[in-house]
């Protein structure tokens, strides 16, 4: 089927690359000292960081709105924010 050794090497490299991409996509890792496969679950630290980034984006949006509104709207926003704390 494969007459050229170069073609065979290209196929082997391609198969290995596809396997690495699939392992990275589905979160399967191989331990260094053993042959046991471990399926990664959701990372609680990553979820906490996502929530923190969302909160920071919301705060930046409020600050941008405060900076671009007129002065009377700015006073109302400051009063509304003071009431939140």
- Give residue-wise pLDDT tens across range 64-82: 887 776 667 767 777 888 8
∠ CA 9-10-12, rounded to 5°: 65
Q: What is the pLDDT of residue 13?
A: 93
pLDDT of residue 40: 63
Give the residue extent of every domain in the chain: 1-41, 42-85
Cα gap 15→22, rounded to integer Å: 11
| Confidence at residue 4, expressed as pLDDT on a 0 to 100 scale | 82
H or E stretch at 30? strand 28-30
In this prediction, residue 64 carries a pLDDT of 85
Q: 8-17, 35-44, 76-85: which has the minimum mean pLDDT?
A: 35-44
Q: Is the pLDDT of residue 9 over 60?
A: yes
């Amino acid at each position: 089927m494969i007459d050229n050794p170069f073609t065979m090497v290209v196929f082997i490299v391609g198969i290995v690359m596809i396997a690495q991409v699939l392992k990275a996509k589905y979160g399967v890792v191989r331990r260094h000292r053993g042959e046991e496969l471990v399926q990664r679950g959701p990372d609680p630290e990553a979820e906490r960081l996502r929530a923190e980034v969302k909160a920071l984006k919301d705060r930046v949006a409020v600050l941008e709105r405060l900076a671009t509104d007129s002065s009377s709207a700015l006073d109302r926003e400051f009063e509304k924010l003071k009431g939140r704390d």
